[in-house]
């Protein structure tokens, strides 16, 4: 995929240039994107412990529930769900199913389409540590004038989503305590 050098405000948060240069599964779904944005966070847990939270995006958005979930709280415990599969609803907000899963490779990636955008979540296990890079990329072919609005809005909501998953996965793994005591620098 060729991405123009055209950038918009809020198109990157928490990612490195090397991560931005990676290929993501969402790249195959939008031929001529008008918006390309990346988000990322380090989670002090193994990918296998982060994956259940990411796959629960099918139940709730995990961002600001009072905004995009009709005030309903996203689950704070792992729910027994069947594995995600292409064609499944991608997420749920305010009790409504939204979007659809396009591709999945547990515990490495989940990609879905929603509201004119394609979002890929990638979990990259660091080989030298018991940490995972939780990366998100959003691509959209919506009209170019909408790109800055979508980028900033997504930045606010996606940042909260990734930080919520980070907190929930670290709480379960117990590795966050080690990291807070000085492990992993």
Is 80 exceeded by the pLDDT of residue 153? no
Residues contacting residue 47 through CB under 8 Å, at least 6 positions apart = 107, 108, 123, 124, 125, 132
The pLDDT score that the predictor gives to residue 157 is 81
Q: Considering the entire predicted model, what is its pTM? A: 0.85
pLDDT at site 177: 42
Q: Write down the residue that tokens 């790109």 correspond to.
A: 147
**Model pLDDT for residues 4-41, shown as the tens digit of each residue:** 456 777 899 999 999 999 999 999 999 999 889 999 99
pLDDT band at 174 (very low <50, low <70, confident <90, very high): low
What's the CATH superfamily of 12-180? START domain (3.30.530.20)
Q: What is the pLDDT of residue 6?
A: 61
Of 91 and 183, more confident:
91
Q: How many CB atoms lie within 10 A of CB 97?
A: 12
CA atoms within 13 A on the CB side of 169: 29
Polymer length of the chain: 185
Q: Are 172 and 45 in contact (CB under 8 A)?
A: yes
Q: Mean pLDDT over all residues of the chain?
A: 83
Tens digit of pLDDT for each residue in 42-85? 999 999 999 999 999 998 777 766 556 556 777 778 999 999 99
The strand pair at 35-43 and 12-13 is best described as parallel
């Amino acid at each position: 995929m060729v991405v123009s050098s055209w950038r918009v405000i809020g198109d990157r948060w928490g990612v490195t240039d090397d991560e931005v240069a990676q290929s993501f599964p969402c790249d195959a779904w939008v031929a001529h994107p008008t918006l390309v944005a990346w988000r990322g966070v380090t989670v002090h847990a193994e990918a296998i412990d982060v994956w259940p939270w990411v796959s629960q995006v099918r139940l709730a958005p995990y961002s600001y529930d009072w905004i995009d979930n009709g005030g309903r709280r996203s689950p704070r415990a792992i729910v027994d769900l069947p594995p995600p599969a292409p064609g499944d609803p991608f997420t749920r907000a305010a009790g409504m199913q939204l979007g659809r899963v396009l591709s999945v490779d547990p515990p490495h990636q989940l990609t879905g389409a929603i509201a004119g955008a394609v979002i890929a979540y990638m979990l990259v296990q660091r080989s030298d540590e018991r940490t995972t890079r939780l990366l998100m990329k959003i691509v959209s072919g919506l009209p170019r004038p909408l790109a800055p609005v979508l980028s900033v809005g997504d930045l606010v909501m996606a940042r909260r989503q990734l930080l919520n998953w980070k907190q929930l996965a670290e709480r379960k793994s117990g590795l966050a305590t080690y990291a807070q005591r000085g492990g992993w620098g």
